[in-house]
Structure 1
């Protein structure tokens, strides 16, 4: 198979192979397996970091098994039994590597890129489920849509806004913006630039990166961006930095912010938009009962 045809074939096969195992579905399945759907609000407020670690570990193990199967299938598609039937095992391996080096490289590159994309989406799903478990109101870009967030002035790098996008328009100072990145690399520079466009006073950057330099941490802090990570990473890597906080601390801040809106007098127009956003999220999560129950409870506050 010609290389370009093989690339297209791998892409098409990947979409089919993983179509029933989207990132959110994989995380939600692990969330259920870990019995986190049965935990209390206080549990998530106190143990969010542990939940993150468990979901990341278990989802990776499950995905890794499926990716290995996919890789084997894609490599096997490059040859037939008649090609190697007269060769010894070592001869067959040498022949395969010599004949398809660029095909093998292309598949490995495709796997890496797909894995990175999935990791980001899975991380966002983990954060969303923890916020739901902690009974924290929010709008998620993944549910409502990037265009909607951009139209509201939230920007493309904001993944979650709490209590919601309507509140953000009404009073930016009493809302929390969250951006999630498993690793920062050079992309951290995009976050201050994006925050400058939103007009927000601060942003929280949630990450699992264990190698953030002192310079990056200080630059982010100067831009009113707080790095958020798990308790274990905070203690092992960033204990010297007050501007790096644990996920549990972020949840406490989110709770305090949500209280400010308890007795807010929303206009009928604002209520209607909130209801519309919540219904959109309920529809998107129709196969995730824990999420649906949360949004239905939240919906009653505005009906």
Structure 2
């Protein structure tokens, strides 16, 4: 049995790798589904997976048309359950608009958070991540919002009036 496993390690490894990738894909899709539900529940205008050139941001708010025009009134909400180095792909989606990166990853390094700030990326995290005594003290970082702050302040206060003025929020 051991010899068989050793001889067929590569195909076995590939099967295990495929299973791992499928789990990650399901988790990511579930995270995006939760964000979609929050947007829908708040009647917030958005387009999902809007293809623009070679880019396909997770969520463009309020719509693809404003994003294509490189309007500062648009924003991108990227969703990544874990970041590692993958967050570095996000700045390519800016197109003169603000980029928000939603994550469930509580192990983002302080240097990564600050590098994101330098690249004008705002991290959106669960409320518990900004509590005192957490691994990274997100509360001390100016470019970190909770989901509640993102939806109530960034969307509800800063963006809604302008999108209503542009007839993009009904």
- Whether these two folds match at TM > 0.5 is yes
Deviation at 1:219, TM superposition (A): 0.9
Return the TM-score normalized by structure 1. 0.48
Shift of 1:265: 5.8
Does 1:219 find its partner at 2:120? Answer: no
Q: What residue is the counterpart of 1:139 in the other structure?
A: 47
Equivalent in 191, 199, 202 of residue 96 of structure 2: 199
Q: Which has the larger radius of gyration?
A: 1
Question: If each structure's helix is expressed as a fraction of its own residues, which one has the higher value?
Answer: 1
**In the aligned structure 1, how far is the partner of 2:44 from the partner of 2:58?**
15
The 5 A counterparts of 1:19-30 are none
- Runs of 4+ aligned structure 1 residues displaced above 4 Å come to none
Higher mean displacement: 101-110 or 172-181: 101-110
> Using CA pairs below 8 Å that are at least 6 residues apart, which structure has the higher relative contact order?
1
Give the superposed CA RMSD: 2.3
CA 258–167 in structure 1, closer or farther in 2 if over 3 Å, else same = farther
2:26 counterpart SS class: helix
Gaps of 5+ in 1: 1-94, 142-147, 267-297
Cα deviation code 1:247-286 (max 9, x no counterpart):
11111212231321224368xxxxxxxxxxxxxxxxxxxx
Normalised TM-score (structure 2) = 0.82
Q: CA deviation at 1:205?
A: 0.6
What is the SS of the residue equivalent to 1:105? helix
Partner of 1:250 in structure 2? Answer: 150
In structure 2, do the counterparts of structure 1 residues 113 and 247 end up closer, same or farther at CA, with 3 Å as the change threshold?
A: same
Quickly say closer, same or farther: Cα 1:110–1:195, change in 2 above 3 A: closer
Alignment of 1:177 with 2:76, yes or no, is yes
Equivalences for 1:52-201 in 2 at 5 Å?
95=1, 97-101=2-6, 102=9, 103-141=11-49, 148-151=50-53, 155-156=55-56, 158-169=57-68, 172-192=71-91, 194-195=92-93, 198-200=95-97
Residue matched to 1:25: none
Contact between 2:70 and 2:96, CA under 8 Å: does it hold in 1?
A: no
Bigger fraction of residues in strand = 2
| C-alpha separation in 2, matches of 1:124 and 1:210 | 17
* 1:30 corresponding residue in structure 2: none
Q: 1:187 deviation in Å?
A: 1.4
Paired residue secondary structure (2:163)? coil
Structure 1 residue corresponding to 2:139, chosen from 212, 218, 239: 239
